[in-house]
Structure 1
Amino acid sequence: MRSGRNEACDALYFPLPYGEDVGQGRVTFEDLDAARVCRGEHMPYPGAAPYRRGDWVYEISDSPWLLERHEYEVAHYRTPLLETYRHYLFVFHGEFVEVIAQGIWFDRPDPADPSALPVGHPLRRLDGRAAPEIHTSPTGIVWELRRNPEAVPDLVAGSRLCSQRLYQFNFVFDGQSSESASVWLRTAEGRTTARLDRDWVGTFATLDGVPSAEDFFEVWEAYVAEVAARRREMGKVP
């Protein structure tokens, strides 16, 4: 399954309601774990909030499906889901779509390229949106820092639905810049945290609130030193 923070994002596309502009809507999933679809016109969970006209997105609390997925992941991969994943229910005409994911984001896809993420999408990399700040570590490795140009209050508000890329750290090797890690902002149950993640590795630093990029420099430089040591072992220059 693709990682939701690699720009190869899983998404749900749906026709916009009659009476609105023609076209599609889209829900992008942050780190999709599982999905299922069933037909029906009655809410499938007795404890779900009463349906009101216009309601179509719900979060299921005390979800037995999420618990089932959590137990499977812990048993086979030691990957807990209960703290960071949620069970979402989408209500459409005559059918339901259920998803377990870390977050969701709503937008309208470009008809010319429906899979592309628009500028400003929280899961899109900051390359091209933020000017790089060039740094050289004591090991000689060159790296870049990019800061999200959006206003902090907007990022905090958006982080209630989906992680927001706050900062991006890029390595520069052979003149090529590529993301190595990013700081993600997320607000859940009234608490805002920022975590430093590496794709396919996971989180290796977490701070409360909205920290500065400099607050992560020490742990980032420790990782840079590890990379430099491995490159020396392979006979590569910084």
Structure 2
Amino acid sequence: MTEHIPFIQVIKVPIVADLVLSPTVLYDENGTSICFETEDEQFGRITIQKMDGIRICRGEIPPYHDPRENWEDFEVGTWVYRVENSRWLMERYQYEKKHYGQSYEWGNSVEEMLTDYTHYYFFFHDEFVEVIAKGFWWEKAEQSLLGKPLSMSHPFLKLQTDFTEELNINDARFYIKINPKSHQELLEDVRFCHQTILEVWVKIKGEYFQEGTLKIKENKAVVFSYYQPRFGKDIIIKKGIADLADLENVLMSKP
């Protein structure tokens, strides 16, 4: 197998889709989501982080090489995959670079299409859903999640916590919300999508407004912390999980 041939690698997710029933793909206030029944007769939902493209096709055999010898011998419960050497992802990157390379995402680099985006493959019965995105998150419930709000602890939502820290920098006061998850939990969850470490808010005329977010992302099995301002370019801070001191240095350097 040459290094340029697309192939799939398993992503282990704690829920398993029913292998007989078809999913429902939605575009609503939650963004893009794939809703389905699970093998244990409950309900699941995959929500997509920063989707670039999606396609839904008929078929029960993956259109990509599987390094395992026989597709029929796949491990029970595996139904989510990452497509390596994706031609589709390269096509999308070339399109974005050609048309938006100089004005990409508030001054960010279009090269993030190659570093932060992944081609995902979700396998169902006689049908598969492919997505190019920054990540995804999964949910499971006893009732259908079709059209339902995201769960309270969903990583795509703002933190549902109180302000616990303050930073005074250059005559400005910042109010901080910290994710209650442990660092170990964040490192486990970042395998699926970007995770929020903390949020930065300001108070203007008695009202709070979010100024930015400190997050982590995973790139080629390495975790990076970055600051995402409300407007402007993302700022890579360090490998691993950044803390308040790192954030303070970033805010001090901002104009």
Shorter chain as denominator, the TM-score bin is 0.7 to 0.9
Q: In structure 1, give the amino acid aligned to 2:210.
A: E
2:169 touches 2:251 (CA, 8 Å); kept in 1?
no
Q: Which residue of 1 aligns with 2:50?
A: 31
Q: Which residue of 2 aligns with 1:232?
A: none
2:237 touches 2:246 (CA, 8 Å); kept in 1?
no
Structure 1 unmatched runs, 5+: 1-6, 227-238
**Is 1:88–2:120 an aligned residue pair?**
yes
Root-mean-square deviation (CA, aligned residues, Å) is 2.2
Q: In structure 2, give the amino acid aligned to 1:118.
A: S
Q: Which residue of 2 aligns with 1:21?
A: 41
Q: Which residue of 2 aligns with 1:103?
A: 135
Q: In structure 1, give the amino acid aligned to 2:99.
A: H
Give the counterpart of 2:242 among 192, 211, 219.
Answer: 211
Deviations 1:127-163 (A, max 9, x none): x324342344333x33211111111111111111111
Residue aligned with 2:202, SS: strand
Give the counterpart of 1:151 among 182, 189, 192.
Answer: 182
Q: Which residue of 1 aligns with 2:59?
A: 40
Q: In structure 1, give the amino acid aligned to 2:225.
A: A
**Is 1:11–2:11 an aligned residue pair?**
no
Give the counterpart of 1:55 among 78, 81, 85.
Answer: 78
Aligned-partner Cα distance in 1 for 2:34–2:231: 23
Please state how far the C-alpha of 1:119 moved relative to its aligned partner.
2.4
**CA shift in 2, pair 1:213/1:73, >3 Å:** same
1:130 touches 1:148 (CA, 8 Å); kept in 2?
no
Aligned-partner Cα distance in 1 for 2:66–2:232: 36
Aligned-partner Cα distance in 1 for 2:167–2:115: 35
Aligned-partner Cα distance in 2 for 1:64–1:112: 33
**CA shift in 2, pair 1:59/1:166, >3 Å:** same
| Alignment TM-score, normalising by the size of structure 2 | 0.75
Q: Percent identity?
A: 27
Deviations 1:57-98 (A, max 9, x none): 110000000000011111111123011100000011110100
Residue aligned with 2:31, SS: coil
2:54 touches 2:131 (CA, 8 Å); kept in 1?
yes
Q: Which residue of 1 aligns with 2:220?
A: 189
2:82 touches 2:121 (CA, 8 Å); kept in 1?
yes
Please state how far the C-alpha of 1:209 moved relative to its aligned partner.
1.0
**CA shift in 2, pair 1:8/1:214, >3 Å:** farther
Please state how far the C-alpha of 1:116 moved relative to its aligned partner.
1.9
Q: Which residue of 1 aligns with 2:166?
A: 134
Answer 1 or 2: higher relative contact order, Cα 8 Å, separation at least 6: 2
Q: Which moved more, 1:59-68 or 1:141-150?
A: 141-150
| Alignment TM-score, normalising by the size of structure 1 | 0.80
Q: Which residue of 1 aligns with 2:209?
A: 178
Aligned-partner Cα distance in 2 for 1:38–1:112: 23
1:193 touches 1:207 (CA, 8 Å); kept in 2?
yes
Residue aligned with 1:45, SS: coil
**Is 1:124–2:157 an aligned residue pair?**
yes
Q: Which moved more, 1:174-183 or 1:54-63?
A: 174-183
- How many pairs does the alignment contain? 213
Aligned-partner Cα distance in 1 for 2:58–2:100: 32
